[in-house]
Every structure is written in C-alpha cells, then in structure tokens.
C-alpha cells in the first residue's frame, strides 16, 4: 500500500479497537453506522475479551434490531452468551448494549446536579423542561456525549463503541458540549432570569424585553425565566461537566471511525467530517467503507465478454445445448447477464474513484462488501465484522 | 433556496413580526439568535415557519422541502403544536394557528417518505408513519421506494441462468471466447441483492396504511449523480405518477 503510514499507524481495526477505550462511529444517515458499530463491538468482545459496550444514540431503534434484542432502554443489557454460542463462537469477553433514552438521561443529569430535592422536583415537573428533553432535537446531541462520558467515567467497560445520532450537520454533536457550556454561561440567560430576580429591569435589558415580550408573550418569558432560574442552580456542575465531556472526546483513548458508502453525498459528508476532526485535533482512527461492490466488477477481460453476451446473444444462444431452453429465452438471459455486469461495472468504477478520494488521508481504510443477506443476528453481525477486522487489503489489490 | 436558521430568524422578525429595523441591528439580532437557542421549539418553528410562510404567501405553486433526518422530522413538524401548548399569548403563539391549519390540510400539505428497500430503512419508514400519525397533524402523501434493483430474469429464465452458471459455464465460455465466470457471479450477485431487497419491499407494501401510494424509483446505474441523474429520477417518478 503506497500511502501506508510509518510507525504509529494503527494498521487495522483490530489494533485500533485494542488500543482505544472509546470508538465513535460517525457518518451520514443510511451508511450503516449502527451496524458497523455493533459489528465492531461484537468482534472486540469475541477476540479481545473484556467488557465491551455498544451504545447507540440513534432515536430509531436500529441496533436493537440488528442485535435481535427486543428493546433495550437506557439500562445496559448484556447480549446473552447463548446468542454467541448459537452463532458458533465462544466469546472471550462480554458484549453489552444500550440505547440512549434522551428523556431518561436528562432526568438522571438533573438528579445528579440538583442542589436539593425541591429544586430537582421543580425542574422535573416544569413543562418547558419536559418539552426540551423529550421533543427537541438539539438535546439529543448533548446528552449523547454526556452519557458516553458518564459510562466511560464509571470504568465499567474496557471498550465503548458509540454510534452517533443522525445530525443534519455531522459536527453538531462534536460541538454540543461546548455549546451547552456557552449556553449556560450566556448573557441571555442572565437577562432571561432578571424578571424573576428583580422587578426592576435594567436599562440594558429593557429593549430586549420589549421585543422578546412581543414575540413570545410575557407568560412564556416567565416560564422560561423560572426554568432557567432553576437550571442555574446546576450551572457550575453543568459547565464543568460539559468541559469534561469535551476533554473526553479529545482524549488519547478516544478515536473516531468515519463510516461511508461510496456514493457522492455520503463521501462528501465523510470528507467534511474528516476535516472537522482534523481541525479540532481529534483522532481519526479509521475509515470504514460500507456496502462496497466487489472489485472483480472492474475486471477488464470480463468487460469484453459481457459486451459479447449483449451483442451476440442470439448467435450464442444457438450454439448452446438445446437442453437449456428455447433459444429466444436463452438469448434474453445471456443479454440480461451481460448488461447487468456492465451496469454494475459502471457503479464499481464510480466507487473506485470515490474510494481513491477518501483513502488519501487515514491510516486505516477498511471495506465491507455488499451483503447478500440482511444483518439481523449476531452471526451475520460477526460475519460482517470479519470483513473489516484484520489488516485491510491494500487499496485495489 | 437553502435553509438557514439565522436567516429564517431575521426574515421571521422582519416579515411576520414587522420588526425590520431591529432585526438589522447587530447585537439585538445576536440576542435573538440566543432566543432561538434558548426557547425550546423556536428553532424548529422558524425552520418550519419559513417554508409554510412561502406557501401562505402563494409565492410558488408548489414548495418541496428536503427535510431533516428521519429521527428529527417529527420534532420539527410537531413544533407548532408544542409551541401552542407552551406559549399562551404573544406573536409566536399567534403564528402557530395558521401553521397548524396549513400543515393539517391534506389538500395543501403532505409528507413523502423516501426509503431504500433495505431492512433498516423500511423499519424506520414504518416507525415514522406511526409517529407522524401520533404526534403531528400532517398527512402522509406517499412513500417512495428508491433504488429498486431491476428484476433480472422473468418466469423460467432463472432456471436457464442456474444451468448456465453451473453445468454449462464451460460451453458458454467457449462460445464467447473468454471466461464468463466473473460475469455469471455478477449476475448472481444482482439476483441475490434484488431478492433480499424484495422481501423488505413487500413488507413495506403490506404494512403501510391502506391507500398510501407507494412509488418506485429504480436503481440508476451511472457514474455520477449530476443533473442527468436528477432528470432520470424525475422521469421515473413521472411515470409512476402517470404524467
């Protein structure tokens, strides 16, 4: 491999997972983040041993599906050993799975940081709080990273593999802890909480209030003020926490795996994400290319043969044994076979170009082929994991 | 046009609330950006309010929105209701009424869910259908199954292929004058991919609410995703819709 990095290169996903404690899978929607994250965790549990957790923060219950678990909430659940035995392997370690329950995680956070039971109950009962935590999008990003930090700090697991939420902007969740800290220390919060603290509005906040009042109505402003006043009691804890979460993301023990299919939109997003990681000094561990067509579609010798099948289908059908079927039917089959190959070859060529673009920077690039069946159980998950586990075959060979 | 929350906010302030001057003043505009972050649902309602406003103004005959990811779309579409529950008075509250009217009128607004015929996307689509019905007032207009692989063989043809791929490979190679193994493998992969996907397609068809139009867009075998691809998708959708 020409762009093989010298010493310090992790080389393979296997080595990467052995060296890190947190592996965060990211990429655009539909590329198989959840599946590859679950497969990586399962492989680590089987081959490296120890306690491995796969944490999915996707609001849709995809991982539960892939692991054949009915539903697992915020509680970490062990994937039964029997499931591995059924898949024909004896794991050295344990595989645990958890899904992010946004509401539950926020509640836990409040319980942890509230100065006293009264404040805690007031926050939990506040209608605004319920809405923020249950309904609104931004809260997912922060709480996902917060929960990751929480689990990591508990020291329960040797390895945590995370699947990130589908964000419109892939870097949203990277910035979530910082934004949360900014938010809690913002001037706006102080302004919003002014009416609750003092009936006399300062000259500075008066114009703000007259406009805010027109837009949101004073009752809502009061609701907001009450909510944030309550939240302010947890200010210090929150800001410290957000800073700690940010540090965890940048820690040497944390790495990011960018997952992408070889289509233009996901590849663009993956490139953007790789740049974002680089800018922030975060560790890019590997790029996993998912649902890749076999490279034999690029075989030049077969191109000619496929064209022959298309062009001379009738003639060829006549030369084949009559036991195959009526010649016109055989000709149709030959034509279809040839055309299908050429069609897929076009896609394979496109993928090769995309692959070359994406493979320029990272140390580890692993490919997962298109699977001819669905990933619905541990056996297929491990089979998929096997594809990217070892030292990756060099690009194009 | 592309959506940008900050721009939406400015427009919202100047168009709907008639505060054009204020919106242009730097520090206050920034303050309102904070408001958008602070007040739950404001960001969502700005996004959704922006395109609903275009509809209300009748600036266009049709407004097509490329929405956010599956996990987030219900939050956006449900924002006007959430705001209505939370905010009792004020201009934002006044805005939610007409938004809900527009969103809830199936003659004017509909959601189209696009899914690849694979297991997870189909699951998510079905979950989203339920969630939309439970949490929003928006009508499900149609579901589009995208990248549907072609059926390679018709009735009886698969048997011919199977025999070619096993017993008669050598004969075929000889006739063609070059090895055909790779080509046969390619066709086999195409058949398998199509077959595994058709199971999910069938499930999608069965589990969608009765009467939901399900449109098919075939997988496009081409090198790039440029304007030509867009035209082809449009042509296929047009056929499905009977244009």
For A59-90, write each residue's pLDDT tens digit.
445 556 656 556 556 788 888 898 899 889 99
Retrieve residue B119's tokens: 């297991």
Interchain contact B71–A (C-beta under 8 A): yes
Retrieve residue A334's tokens: 């030959």
pLDDT at A370: 81
pLDDT at B196: 87
Instruction: Convert A40-67 into a string of H (helix), E (strand) and C (coil).
Output: HHHHHHHHCCCEEEEEECCCCCHHHHHC
Return residues 187-226 of B near A (CB < 8 Å): 187, 189-190, 192-193, 196, 200, 221-225
At B114, give phi and psi (nearest 5°).
-110, 130
- From chain B, pick out residues whose CB is under 8 angstroms from the CB of A66: 120
Q: Looking at the partner chain, which of A29, A131, A372 has a beta carbon nearest the beta carbon of B41? A: A131
Give the global pTM. 0.81
Residues B169-194: tens digit of each pLDDT: 999 999 999 999 999 999 999 999 99
3-state secondary structure of A388: helix
Model-level ipTM above the cut of 0.85: no
A5: pLDDT strictly greater than 50:
no
If you search the block for the tokens 């079905």, which residue do you land on? B126
Interchain contact B134–A (C-beta under 8 A): no
More confident: B49 or B137: B137
pLDDT at A190: 63
At B16, is the pLDDT very low, low, confident or very high (cuts 50, 70, 90)?
A: low
B3: pLDDT strictly greater than 90:
no
pLDDT at A6: 41
- From chain B, pick out residues whose CB is under 8 angstroms from the CB of A179: 37
**Chain A: residue whose CA lies nearest to B127:** A60
Contact at CB, A330 and B176, closer than 8 angstroms: no
**Chain B: residue whose CA lies nearest to A206:** B28
pLDDT at A397: 35
Sheet strands (E) in chain A? 22-26, 51-56, 77-78, 94-99, 159-163, 254-260, 284-292, 365-369
Return residues 13-52 of B near A (CB < 8 Å): 13, 17, 19, 22, 28, 31-32, 34-35, 37-41, 43-44
Selected residue of B37, B45, B120 to mutate for chain A interface (largest A Cβ count, 10 A) = B120
Retrieve residue A47's tokens: 């081959």
Residue A105's CB: how many other CB atoms inside 10 A?
A: 21
Contact at CB, A305 and B178, closer than 8 angstroms: yes
Contact at CB, B86 and A131, closer than 8 angstroms: yes
Contact at CB, A215 and B17, closer than 8 angstroms: yes
Q: Looking at the partner chain, which of B87, B121, B175 has a beta carbon nearest the beta carbon of A30? A: B121
Contact at CB, B189 and A30, closer than 8 angstroms: no
Contact at CB, A223 and B189, closer than 8 angstroms: no
Contact at CB, B44 and A137, closer than 8 angstroms: yes
At A33, is the pLDDT very low, low, confident or very high (cuts 50, 70, 90)?
A: confident
Return residues 138-177 of B near A (CB < 8 Å): 150, 152-154, 156-157, 159-161, 163-164, 168, 171-172, 175-177
Which of A100-109, B49-58, B87-96, B206-215 shows the lowest per-residue confidence on average (mean pLDDT)? Answer: B87-96
Average pLDDT over residues A7-34: 83
B109: pLDDT strictly greater than 60:
yes
Retrieve residue B37's tokens: 């972050």
A199: pLDDT strictly greater than 50:
no
- By residue count, chain A amounts to 397
Who contacts A17 (Cβ-Cβ below 8 Å, separation ≥6)?
Answer: A23, A40, A43, A44, A48, A159, A161
pLDDT at A212: 63
At A258, is the pLDDT very low, low, confident or very high (cuts 50, 70, 90)?
A: very high
Kindly tell me the number of DSSP H helices and DSSP E strands found in chain A.
Answer: 19, 8
* Helix intervals (H) in B87-180: 91-104, 119-135, 157-165, 169-176
A2: pLDDT strictly greater than 50:
no
Selected residue of A176, A226, A340 to mutate for chain B interface (largest B Cβ count, 10 A) = A340
Selected residue of B8, B68, B176, B185 to mutate for chain A interface (largest A Cβ count, 10 A) = B176
**Chain A: residue whose CA lies nearest to B41:** A136
pLDDT at A48: 95
pLDDT at A312: 95
């Amino acid at each position: 491999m020409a762009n093989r990095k010298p010493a310090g290169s992790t080389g393979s996903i296997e080595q990467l997972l052995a060296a890190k404690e947190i592996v965060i899978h990211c990429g655009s929607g539909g590329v198989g983040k959840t599946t590859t994250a679950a497969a990586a965790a399962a492989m680590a549990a089987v081959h490296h041993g120890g306690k491995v957790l796969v944490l999915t923060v996707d609001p849709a219950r995809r991982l539960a599906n892939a692991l054949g678990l009915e539903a697992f909430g915020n509680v970490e659940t062990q994937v039964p050993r029997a499931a591995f035995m059924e898949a024909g392997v004896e794991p050295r370690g344990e595989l645990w799975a958890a899904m992010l329950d946004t509401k539950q995680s926020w509640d836990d956070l409040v319980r942890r940081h509230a100065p006293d039971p009264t404040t805690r109950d007031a926050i939990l009962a506040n209608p605004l709080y319920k809405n923020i935590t249950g309904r609104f999008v931004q809260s997912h990003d922060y709480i996902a990273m917060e929960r990751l930090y929480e689990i990591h700090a508990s020291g329960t697991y040797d390895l945590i593999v995370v699947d990130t939420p589908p964000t419109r902007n892939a870097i949203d969740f990277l910035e979530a802890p910082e934004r949360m800290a900014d938010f809690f220390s913002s001037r706006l919060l102080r302004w919003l909480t002014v009416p609750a603290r003092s009936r006399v509005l300062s000259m500075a906040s008066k114009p703000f209030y007259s406009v805010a009042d027109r837009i949101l109505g004073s009752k809502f402003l009061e609701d907001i003020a009450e909510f944030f006043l309550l939240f302010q009691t947890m200010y210090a804890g929150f800001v410290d926490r957000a800073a700690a979460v940010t540090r965890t993301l940048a820690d040497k023990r944390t790495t990011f795996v960018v997952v992408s299919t070889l289509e233009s939109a996901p590849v663009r997003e993956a490139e953007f994400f790789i740049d974002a990681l680089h800018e922030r000094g975060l560790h890019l561990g590997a790029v996993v290319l998912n649902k890749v067509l076999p490279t034999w579609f690029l075989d030049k010798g077969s191109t000619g043969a496929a064209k022959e099948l298309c062009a001379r289908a009738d003639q060829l059908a006549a030369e084949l044994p009559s036991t195959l079927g009526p010649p016109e039917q055989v000709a149709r089959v030959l034509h279809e076979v040839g055309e299908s190959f050429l069609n897929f070859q076009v896609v394979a060529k496109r993928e090769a170009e995309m692959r070359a673009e994406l493979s320029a920077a990272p140390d580890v690039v692993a490919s997962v082929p298109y699977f001819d069946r669905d990933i619905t159980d541990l056996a297929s998950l491990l089979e998929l994991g096997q594809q990217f586990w070892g030292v990756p075959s060099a690009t194009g060979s | 046009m592309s959506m940008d929350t900050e721009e939406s906010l400015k427009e919202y302030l100047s168009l709907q609330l008639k505060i054009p001057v204020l919106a242009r003043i730097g520090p206050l505009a920034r303050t309102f950006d904070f408001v958008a972050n602070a007040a739950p649902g404001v960001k969502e309602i700005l996004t959704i309010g922006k395109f609903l406003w275009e509809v209300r103004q009748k600036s266009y005959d049709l407004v097509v929105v490329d929405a956010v990811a599956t996990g987030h779309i219900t939050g956006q579409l449900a924002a006007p209701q959430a705001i209505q529950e939370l905010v009792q008075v004020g201009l934002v509250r006044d805005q939610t009424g007409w938004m809900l009217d527009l969103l809830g009128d199936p003659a004017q607004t509909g959601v189209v869910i696009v899914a690849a015929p694979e297991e997870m996307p189909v699951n998510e689509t079905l979950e989203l259908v339920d969630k939309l019905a439970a949490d929003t007032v928006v009508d499900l207009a149609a579901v589009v199954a995208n990248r549907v692989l072609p059926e390679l063989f018709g009735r009886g043809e698969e048997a011919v292929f199977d025999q070619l791929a096993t017993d008669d490979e050598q004969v075929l190679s000889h006739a063609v004058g070059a090895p055909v193994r790779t080509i046969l493998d390619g066709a086999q992969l195409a058949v398998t991919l199509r077959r595994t996907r058709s199971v999910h397609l069938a499930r999608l068809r069965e589990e969608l609410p009765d009467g939901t139009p399900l449109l098919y867009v075939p997988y496009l075998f081409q090198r790039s995703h440029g304007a030509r691809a867009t035209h082809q998708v449009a042509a296929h959708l047009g056929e499905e819709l009977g244009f």
